[in-house]
Copies of this chain bind each other. A is one copy, B any other.
């Protein structure tokens, strides 16, 4: 079952309706992570008619349905990004030198979940990790 089918089902199951706007938003976010503003710009540039408010609302609905998860890519948390669950294990490193955002894979949230469950009985449902520092290129410049 594709992401789009899952999303349609989830929306209908909760008594919601599949509108033109929701469809194009879902199609766009199925492939990659987006923040509301960029997604809106992209759709508008492609000639689609949606309002920014609807983009925010739809992303929020999809998050509530468990299909997306919010993230903040950089430690200064300036913009909320939505990530399809299929890419959940990707986190991001922000370079303080050049501003580059470097994705990396790790199951560190999983390990942390185990630790918290074992040590304190906490049940982790979602986590967010932001790290910043210097990338290879910027380390060389400093040296």
- Whether A130 contacts B128 in the complex (CB less than 8 A), given A104-B116, A104-B120, A108-B111, comes out as yes
A133 to B125, CA, bound (A): 5
Contact A106 B115 (CB under 8 A): yes
- Which one of A32-40, A68-76, A82-90 is at the interface? A68-76
Residues of B within 8 A of A124 (CB): 93, 131-133
Q: How large is the interface on A (under 10, 10 to 19, 20 to 34, 35 or more residues)?
A: 35 or more
Number of this chain's copies in the complex: 2
Interface string of A114-135 (1 = CB under 8 A from B): 0110011111111111111111
Which single residue of chain B is at the shortest CB-CB distance from A78?
B77
Q: Which of B75, B111, B121, B126 is the one whose CB lies under 8 Å from A132? A: B126
Contact A112 B116 (CB under 8 A): no
A44 within 8 A of B: no
A28 to B94, CA, bound (A): 31
Contact A127 B70 (CB under 8 A): no
Residues of B within 8 A of A70 (CB): 75-76
What are 18 pairs between A and B in contact, CB < 8 Å? A70-B75, A75-B127, A75-B128, A77-B80, A93-B116, A102-B122, A104-B120, A108-B111, A109-B131, A113-B133, A121-B139, A122-B135, A125-B134, A126-B132, A127-B131, A128-B129, A128-B130, A128-B131
**Pairs of residues from A and B, 4 with the lowest C-beta to C-beta distance, nearest first:** A127-B131, A124-B133, A125-B133, A121-B136
